[in-house]
Amino acid sequence: MPTIPSRSTGETASLLAFFGGTFDPIHFGHLKPVTQLAQNTGLDHVILLPNNVPPHRPQPGASPQQRLHMVELAVEGNPLFSVDPRELAVDTPSYTIETLATLRKEHGESCPLAFIIGQDSLLTLHKWHRWGSLLDFCHLIVMARPGYHEQLDTPELQRWYDAHRVTDAENLRHQPAGFIYQANTPLLNISATEIRQRRKAGLDCSDLLPDAVERYIESQGLYRA
């Protein structure tokens, strides 16, 4: 278990969280657990970071602009969220670690920052570019996801996880980076893959994502063929 230095100011630091994803499309499996997480842990703000998908990977069904627009529609008027389109503004693939390094510079050395991922992302985190350095820049908050077990894919990843895990979210405010918090978020069995498949089959998706996003998908004819 990592040691937790006490803050010299005695003040409660605000905690800023980032949530990256392809969001093809954004859905309630993203939004509801994060909202609950914010309520449970007193997260002040969550910034959604839509990813740029590298050319050699399977391309999203929606364009970067359409994915960005869907994310904006999903959180319009919701003060918990904002959207940062920086990874879509460049053509080159953006690595999470590089974005986090930039965010750390922008927010200063002492501001607690967290990056939110789902359990499926944690299981394969060792495939991320420079994964072992992620905690130099932020904390990781892991949300449970139905169908994904807890055992990590490699012993090295498991050791790293065990060495940094904390069980009290309050720890995330006590230092700027370096902890992993496994959040007890509601389990929602929703994926963007399922939404794309349902659209292709002409099935209703209204329970799975916000109305405004669904209307936009329909108006753009997305994921139909």
Please identify which residue in 6, 92, 167, 193 interacts with ligand ATP, judged by CB under 6 A. 193
Should residue 114 be labelled a site residue for ligand ATP when binding is judged by CB under 6 A? no
Query: For residues 154 and 197, which CB has a smaller minimum distance to ligand ATP in the complex?
Result: 197
Query: For residues 13 and 16, which CB has a smaller minimum distance to ligand ATP in the complex?
Result: 16
3-state secondary structure 73-106: HHHCCCCCEEECCHHHCCCCCCCHHHHHHHHHHH
Stretch that binds ligand ATP, among 19-27, 100-108, 129-137, 161-169 (CB under 6 A): 19-27
**Alpha helices, H only, 4-59:** 28-41
Min separation Cβ 125 and ligand ATP, Å: 10
- Considering only CA atoms, which of 171, 163, 120 is closest in space to residue 143? 120
Query: For residues 100 and 192, which CB has a smaller minimum distance to ligand ATP in the complex?
Result: 192
Please identify which residue in 31, 38, 113, 117 interacts with ligand ATP, judged by CB under 6 A. 117
Taking CA atoms, 89 is separated from 19, 40, 86, 93, in Å, by: 17, 33, 5, 10
Separation CA 60–CA 82 (nearest Å): 22
Query: For residues 70 and 109, which CB has a smaller minimum distance to ligand ATP in the complex?
Result: 70
Residues found near ligand ATP in the complex (CB under 6 A) = 21-24, 29-30, 33, 117-118, 120-121, 143, 145, 188, 190-193
